[in-house]
Amino acid sequence: MDIRENIEQLTRRINELALEQSDINRRLLMLMKELDKLKEQAASAEPVARVEQPVETIEFSEPIVAPQQTHKQAPPPPPPASAPSAKKETSLEELVGKNIASKVGILVTVIGIFIGARYAIEHNLVSPLVRIIAGYVSGAALVVLAIFLKKKYTAYSSVLMGGGIAVLCLITYIAYGYYLLLPQAATFVLMLVFTVAAVYASLVYDKVFIAHLGLVGAYAIPFLLSDNSGRYIILFSYIAIINAGILVLSFRKYWKSLFYVAFAATWLIILVWRAWIYKEEHFTLALLFSALYFLMFYATFLSYKLVRKERFNTGTAAILLSNAFLFFGMGYEQFDNSAETAQYLGLFTVANAALHFLVSVLIRPG
């Protein structure tokens, strides 16, 4: 047998083996399709986790191209139906506690208690002490009811809690302002306690509107209890302490509305005081506390940007510029209106510019 015949035989053998391999490949692909169909049927019949049996891998001299998988994954099983009692509680929660009606209702309750107290005052229906005690009982009843309902109806309970604290603050002011049944110091302590309670309740319930209630009470206390003594350092120190607590709370819970209210209320108080009461003898007091408030709001603003990674937008730019211009404008007026301090006006301006430049360098990316 010569070489030519050997070549022909080997070629013929190779062709036969190639045909056999092609047939094996065809049958293997058919088996893979049947396996996929079985998987689809199993997935639709039992949507639970299943363990696939390992398939032995077979290598061939010619690559096998499997057809593209066209079947879709089985949809996830539907969530279990909620129990009727849970569904009922959820619907009641949404109906009563999560809409505006509950908040309007508690507002009407507070106003009603106030009108009832005024009516009793004007017509002398009961003694002043009984009226005040009845007011405290009403406020305490709302607080106790809020605590009782907290587990099942949290949102509605939070509304009752806010209303109860508002009633307690209101009755305390009536006891002091109308009847003089409480001394100023005791009234201040009670109002401060109720304010702290409102802030604590806002943390427990995670409801910002309760914190706003405490914020309104906190800023109202010094004006409701003012005796025109002229001790403004106490007033501004008190506002600084309240601002520190409110700003920490607003940053911790990310309640920016508290920051906005504190910002507006503080600068409004300063502007009104400067317009009607400020005298040249208050120069140092006004400058120090204006600078303190300016730095507190500035630091809070930067914390939101650097820690919370807030984006810079029109609203934040307005707050930043308003804070800077209010402080600089009032300080500029103070230095300019006094002959003794006018020479330091340039230094005050340079100090402001240096502060903003330093902050811009520190927060510059990269």
* CB within 8 Å of 160: residues ≥ 6 apart: 106, 142, 143, 145, 146, 149
Please report which confidence band the pLDDT of residue 360 belongs to, taking 50, 70 and 90 as the band edges.
confident
CA distance 94 to 102: 10
Residue 325 pLDDT > 90, yes or no? Answer: yes
Percent of the chain whose predicted confidence (pLDDT) is above 90: 16
Q: Is 216 exposed, middle or buried (0-12, 13-18, 19+ CB in 10 A)?
A: middle
Look at residues 216, 217, 213, 208 and name the one whose alpha carbon lies nearest to residue 249: 208
Structural contact between residues 323 and 294, judged by C-beta atoms closer than 8 angstroms: yes
Report pLDDT for 108: 66
User: What is the identity of the amino acid at 29?
Assistant: L
Mean pLDDT value of segment 219-248: 80
Among candidate residues 213, 212, 76, 79, the one with its CA nearest the CA of residue 142: 213
Beta carbons of 327 and 294 less than 8 angstroms apart = yes
pTM greater than 0.75:
no
Chain centroid to Cα 17, Å, comes to 74
**DSSP H helices in 84-207:** 84-92, 100-123, 128-149, 154-177, 184-205
Angstrom distances, CA of residue 128 to CA of 100, 112, 114: 35, 18, 14
User: How far is 223 from 221, CA to CA, in rounded Å?
Assistant: 6
Please, which pLDDT band fits residue 27 given cuts at 50, 70 and 90?
A: confident
Write down the pLDDT at residue 288: 94
Question: Within a 13 Å sphere around the CA of 202, how many CA atoms are in the beta-carbon half?
Answer: 23
pLDDT band at 340 (very low <50, low <70, confident <90, very high): confident
Confidence grade of residue 76 (pLDDT, cut at 50, 70, 90): low
Residue 59: which pLDDT band, with cuts at 50, 70 and 90?
A: very low
Collapse the DSSP code of 66 into the 3-class scheme (helix H, G, I; strand E, B; otherwise coil) and give the result: coil
At 307, the amino acid letter reads V
Contact 159, 104 (CB under 8 A): no
Per-residue tokens: 241: 């302490």
Structure tokens at 235: 């007033």
Residues 204-232: what's their mean pLDDT? 78
Q: Is the pLDDT of residue 55 over 60?
A: no
Q: Which residue do the tokens 């409102």 mark?
A: 198
The SS3 assignment for 307 reads coil
- For the stretch 259-316, pLDDT in tens is 999 999 999 999 999 888 888 888 999 999 999 999 999 999 888 888 888 777 787 7
Interacting residues of 61 by C-beta distance below 8 A, sequence separation 6+: 21
pLDDT average, residue stretch 331-346: 86
The mean pLDDT value for 25-54 works out to 70
Exposed / middle / buried, residue 271 (Cβ in 10 Å: 0-12, 13-18, 19+): middle
φ/ψ of residue 62, rounded to 5: -105, 135
DSSP string, 168-198: HHHHHHHHHHTS--S-HHHHHHHHHHHHHHH
Predicted pLDDT at 48: 47
Helix axes 208-224, 256-276, angle to 10 degrees: 20
> Which long-range contacts link 84-87 to residues 24+ away (Cβ below 8 Å)?
none
